[in-house]
Structure 1
Amino acid sequence: MTSIRSLEDLVLEHGVLSLIRLWDSALVSKTRASVNYHYGFHGLAFDVIGTLAFGRGFDVLAQGNTRIIDSVHKMMRLIVMRGQIPAIRRMRWLVKDMADAHDFVEFTANQAIDNRKKFVREKGGPLRIDILQKLLDARDPETGSGIDRQSVVSEIALLLVAGTDTTSNTMSWTLMNLMHYPDVYQRLRDDVRREFPNTSVPIHYEEARARLPYLTAVINECMRLNPTVSGYLPRRVPTDENGATVCGYFIPAKSAEICLGFAACHRNSKTWTNPLKFDPERFMGPDSDNNLKNVLAFSSGARMCIGRNLAWVELYTTLANILRTYNFKLPDNAPYGPHRLCNGVPEEIPSITFTTTGPKNPRSDCWIEIERAY
């Protein structure tokens, strides 16, 4: 977190402040405008990762350049297909569009490395110490050797995959839930504006985390109800003769793998009261610490998400600043909202899972009306 905090100004500038400039441009000469929050959050996440891991933003928000987003999504489909059907590696012609996208991402990563090394060589040092620079400067404590180029390329490409859809989808689900539960939205909005009345300076991560406990509860409840990684995550059983015993169930050593479904765990009625309801109060009372242990959004233990600290900084700064800056309202013709109930709770917009879980039809379901609050 110390390293990420040192980059917070970059996260703010290329993240929420850039998003606010985009949404403000939609309000020129009018008091209210409709914006697609899913694509706004998506562009924000890619621009932040581009800035920190590739040395420059991808201009998704400023110029609407979505080539890198499209390429990453195609690359992910190719990686999954290769995992299921290894022979596809020898049949590029069959998946040419996805293979070209994979090549573009690797080319962009190599270009970022070359540009940074050239800058350091010509200027005598880096302009800033970001994630890209940390990877280039890293040295093995025993041998003194650095990370080879292909590994650096793989690392920063992985950041694009793991640090974009995950964070942006969480923001989308959070705003959806706030609109579906007006009382929660009203309380959180009032908290933010009461604690941070000075609109001339952006709200930073540490102060938001310290002074907005209800925002923390809202984010935790969103990650419980709508985990952006919600598919079946495989784990191998220990190969020794003892196998493994989980909750009293013995799993033989020769079992290939077991899978954990976060979404199922997070909606288990044996663990959660009224599990389908969005209720941040779960993380505000005496049971909050125990409940938090059962939120698996970032996984746990040695395999815990390595990018969770960056995600937290983006989530706090983005949500706090937009809630202070804008009043939000669902369009009158919104297909989903508090007016559409299922089992006594607002029906969620449809989702789809492919490595991450996000809105299935964002072009139609993720519109919101905004107006400046000041």
Structure 2
Amino acid sequence: MDYLTITSIRDRPAISILASVVAYGALYIVLRAVYRLFLHPLSAFPGPRLAAATSLWKAYYQCTGSFTHHLIDLHKIYGPVVRIQPHELHFQSTDAFFDIYNTKNRWDKDAALYHSFGEDESSFGYVSHLEAKERRDVLSKIFSPKAVEEAEHLILMKVNNFCAALTRQNAAGKPSDLLFAFRCVTMDVITYLCFGQSGNAVDEPDFHDPLIEAMHNSTALVPVFFHFKIIRKLIMGMPPEMAKKSAPETAGLINMQVLLKKQIDRHVNDPETLETLPHKTTIYHILLDPKSHKSRGPASAKSLYEESQALMFGGGDTTANVIMVGTFYLLKRPDLVQKLQDELREYWPDLVPGREPKLSVLEEMPFLNAVIKESLRIGPGIPSGLPRIIPAGGAVVDGNKVPAGTVVSTSSWFVHHDESIFPEPDVFKPERWQGEQAKELEKYLVPFSKGARMCLGFNLGWAELRMVFAHTYRKFDLELADESPRADHLPWRDVFGPNYQKPNLTVWMRPAKG
């Protein structure tokens, strides 16, 4: 018997074992798919068969397209509830929204999504209700109505810096890219309030701040991070210099992360350095207070860093997007711009520095607030579903009995485009927020979600919206630049938040004469 024959015989057991493993693996996949399709507790719910059989169906549509737009089509086919993963249901109706997101529910978040952002130990990333509530109770010292009122002068300072930058841009003979310009001012506000310092993004040439651009570029990766955690760990685990070489477009974000970590380490190791910050209500003052958390000591450096990341992403893009979307639709209706500017001149007759109207005055302006509400309604906000896990004992969602352990979700996008509540939902109509019907509509305006886990910064968000809208339309006359989009709607892709497609909204910002 020659050597090759002996080797062949010796290898047969290994080949047989490998073949058995493959065969049993294939059998397991087939049996699991059969169970999910016909025997699973969710098997009676409608939806694509592949979605019921494998999570890869959702991964494909989220990573290659815009999932919210796909869901709109699916609900037209299958009805108000669709099974979108073996263990997940998506709901369309407004009733379902309020069944899932309300103050009575103590449902946990789905870790599969919320732990894909690298912010596990933050008010956003804590999946259990109890952990999140304790952190939110602490941070409310920064985001309460009283705290925002006390910070009004800080917000005004950043908004005035923004208006000065718009004036310089116009003097240089250039229009302003408002996708980035509005994000620069909201980022300057959130970083200064929360960290005691900001990068003065509004001063960057053409508002193309490296951090803002990097955040914009990185959002497209969110669906990939969600479904393929190994990719997220590889990218986020790289040393900073290697990461910048691998993805140069994210350099601004990586540099900010490095600075944040250094700042946090300095404050954690030497709390006396907190005295050097320009105000005393930063997250460092709040979260490093030994008495801040009831069940544990002050936040760790890791938790502080992840909370900082969550606040930057949550407090930067979302508010800016609303202002940009509102501006896009306003500029298509010169009569609305004129009406807004007339009201602003009535409440703010003189453009004298130091005599800007207080937030309390802006809150009383009916048409300004109608414009903001309609901008919040028609813009996508966070179009992606915010998944919650049905607790033990199950629950009823929109009349459907849903078993424990099921992931359920919907989003404000479906509420805000419910034709039975908002006729002509794709039409920008601020007047719908004025008159007798306006009060009834208020409960259906849910851009910050609802319930115990709603957006923590909604008071700050409203303050920024009122101040930036008011200063922009009182101090400037706006005109669409040639390179601006001319479509009826701003195209966007759902990547948890909206990722707006080019061309960006670009506008001539000419200082008003009085």
1:259 aligns with 2:405: no
- Give the 3 Å change call, closer, same or farther, for CA 52–237 of structure 1 in structure 2: same
1:6 aligns with 2:150: yes
Aligned match of 1:107 in 258, 264, 269?
258
Structure 2: runs of 5+ lacking an equivalent: 1-144
How far apart, in 2, do the equivalents of 1:199 and 1:80 lie? 46
How far apart, in 2, do the equivalents of 1:101 and 1:194 lie? 42
1:295 aligns with 2:438: no
Where 1:113 maps in the other structure, the secondary structure is: helix
Aligned match of 2:182 in 29, 38, 41?
41
What TM-score, normalized by structure 2, do the two folds share? Answer: 0.63
1:351 aligns with 2:492: yes
- Give the 3 Å change call, closer, same or farther, for CA 105–123 of structure 1 in structure 2: closer
Question: Within 5 Å, which residues of 2 pair with 1:155-166?
Answer: 155-166=307-318
- Counterpart position of 1:27: 170
Question: Within 5 Å, which residues of 2 pair with 1:1-374?
Answer: 1-14=145-158, 16-28=159-171, 34-64=175-205, 66-73=209-216, 76=219, 80-88=223-231, 91-92=234-235, 96-97=246-247, 104-114=255-265, 121=272, 126-132=277-283, 133-137=285-289, 139-140=291-292, 142=294, 145-200=297-352, 201-210=355-364, 212-240=365-393, 243-254=394-405, 256-331=406-481, 334-336=484-486, 347-361=488-502, 364-374=503-513
Letter in structure 2 aligned against 1:225: I
How far apart, in 2, do the equivalents of 1:284 and 1:138 lie? 47
- Give the 3 Å change call, closer, same or farther, for CA 138–296 of structure 1 in structure 2: farther
Instruction: State the shift of 1:197 in Å.
Output: 0.7
Cα deviation code 1:248-269 (max 9, x no counterpart): 2222335x31220322221121
How far apart, in 2, do the equivalents of 1:126 and 1:162 lie? 23
How far apart, in 2, do the equivalents of 1:199 and 1:85 lie? 53
How far apart, in 1, do the equivalents of 2:372 and 2:512 lie? 22
Instruction: State the shift of 1:172 in Å.
Output: 0.4
Cα deviation code 1:12-41 (max 9, x no counterpart): 212x211111111123387xx522222110
Instruction: State the shift of 1:66 in Å.
Output: 2.3
- Give the 3 Å change call, closer, same or farther, for CA 144–349 of structure 1 in structure 2: closer
Determine if contact 1:262/1:296 at 8 Å carries over to the other structure.
yes
Instruction: State the shift of 1:89 in Å.
Output: 5.1
Identity of aligned pairs, percent?
A: 23
How far apart, in 1, do the equivalents of 2:296 and 2:411 lie? 41
- Give the 3 Å change call, closer, same or farther, for CA 63–117 of structure 1 in structure 2: farther
Instruction: State the shift of 1:323 in Å.
Output: 0.9
How far apart, in 1, do the equivalents of 2:491 and 2:254 lie? 32
Larger deviation, residues 298-307 vs 266-275: 266-275
Where 2:510 maps in the other structure, the secondary structure is: strand
- Give the 3 Å change call, closer, same or farther, for CA 29–251 of structure 1 in structure 2: closer
Where 2:171 maps in the other structure, the secondary structure is: coil
Where 1:53 maps in the other structure, the secondary structure is: helix
How far apart, in 2, do the equivalents of 1:99 and 1:176 lie? 28
- Give the 3 Å change call, closer, same or farther, for CA 40–119 of structure 1 in structure 2: farther
- Give the 3 Å change call, closer, same or farther, for CA 147–183 of structure 1 in structure 2: same
Larger deviation, residues 190-199 vs 137-146: 137-146
- Give the 3 Å change call, closer, same or farther, for CA 113–8 of structure 1 in structure 2: farther
Misfit runs of 4+, over 6 Å: 98-102, 117-120
- Counterpart position of 1:344: none
Instruction: State the shift of 1:332 in Å.
Output: 5.7
- Counterpart position of 2:69: none
Determine if contact 1:220/1:292 at 8 Å carries over to the other structure.
no
- Give the 3 Å change call, closer, same or farther, for CA 84–282 of structure 1 in structure 2: same
Determine if contact 1:236/1:258 at 8 Å carries over to the other structure.
yes
Structure 1: runs of 5+ lacking an equivalent: 341-346
Number of matched pairs: 356
Cα deviation code 1:265-284 (max 9, x no counterpart): 21121222222211112211
Cα deviation code 1:85-109 (max 9, x no counterpart): 1233554479853997775444222
How far apart, in 2, do the equivalents of 1:123 and 1:355 lie? 35
- Give the 3 Å change call, closer, same or farther, for CA 54–79 of structure 1 in structure 2: farther
How far apart, in 2, do the equivalents of 1:199 and 1:239 lie? 59
How far apart, in 2, do the equivalents of 1:305 and 1:43 lie? 21
Where 1:180 maps in the other structure, the secondary structure is: coil
Structure number with greater Rg is 2
Where 2:489 maps in the other structure, the secondary structure is: coil
- Give the 3 Å change call, closer, same or farther, for CA 122–169 of structure 1 in structure 2: closer
Determine if contact 2:321/2:381 at 8 Å carries over to the other structure.
yes
How far apart, in 2, do the equivalents of 1:143 and 1:252 lie? 32
